[in-house]
Amino acid sequence: MKMISEPAEEALEKIWVFQEDHPDNPLSPEIKSFNPQVIKELEDLKFIQKEEGEFKLTSEGMEEAKNVIRRHRLAEKLLHDILGLSGEDMETAACNFEHIMEGGVEESICNLLSHPDKCPHGKPIPPCECRTQGGHRHGHGHHQCDCTAGVKTIIDKTVLPLNKMDKGEKGEIVYIKSSKRDNLQKILAMGVLPGRKIEIIQTYPSYVFQMEHTQMAVDKDIAESIYVGSGSN
């Protein structure tokens, strides 16, 4: 995977939206309006190229732009449907949230949201690879994503709420379940998402766990809402 800066990701997002809204307009003037450093980065990554003085999006750039817009719109859907955010609050949070949605996290959120095909604004969410390459058709004409992140984890691992785990245990967050919106808001605000790896550091008096390089402490009410899979991978 190529490393890309947040400004360059945002530029690709703008390119995608511009093409979506203005399919018959030339793309080059939009790209030329970007910061020169961003343009250089996109050129170096071979996401755009210049031909006869005009910029064009490469096939690799189109694929990356699709992935960026998919993450952003999935983030919007998650924040809207689970946290009840809308308008500017949703947009601001989604812009921050999308940058931590990589790999298994993105697939697990797709599963958590039942594979949505539209964002809260009614814009299409680009399908993931498994939906475009042999996904099975389900229900009302929608493709059922074959992402196995959620299902395989549940089959292959013992799933327990975080408060039932022992100190030193490691696992992967499988899903979040709570009837309390405040709890869901707190959990997601911490970046605790399906697909992320955690290790239990302490179970009393509060539940402390490590996720990547950060330690977090939660009470029992929050801990019993976070379901973790441990066992074979």
Beta bridge partners of 59: none
Domain boundaries, the chain: 1-147, 151-231
Rounded to an integer, what distance in angstroms lies between the CA atom of residue 150 and that of residue 142?
A: 19
DSSP of 135-158: PEEETTTEEEP---HHHHHHHHEE
Architecture of domain 1-147: Orthogonal Bundle (1.10)
Cα 130 from chain centroid? 16
pTM more than 0.85: no
135 has pLDDT over 60: no
What pLDDT score was predicted for residue 208?
97
Q: What is the mean pLDDT of residues 55-66?
A: 96
Predicted confidence band of residue 96 (pLDDT cuts 50, 70, 90): confident
Residue 141, sorted as left (phi over 0), alpha (psi -120 to 50) or beta, turns out to be: left
pLDDT above 70 as % of the chain: 85
Predicted confidence band of residue 134 (pLDDT cuts 50, 70, 90): very low
Question: Over the stretch 137-164, which tens digit does the pLDDT of each residue have?
Answer: 333 344 445 444 444 444 445 788 999 9
DSSP of 99-140: GG--HHHHHHHHHHTT--SB-TTS-B-PPPHHHHSSPEEETT
Predicted confidence band of residue 182 (pLDDT cuts 50, 70, 90): confident
| Structure token pair of residue 126 | 């680009």
Query: What is the fold, at CATH topology level, of the domain defined by 151-231?
Result: SH3 type barrels. (2.30.30)
Rounded to an integer, what distance in angstroms lies between the CA atom of residue 45 and that of residue 34?
A: 16
Rounded to an integer, what distance in angstroms lies between the CA atom of residue 135 and that of residue 106?
A: 17
64 has pLDDT over 80: yes
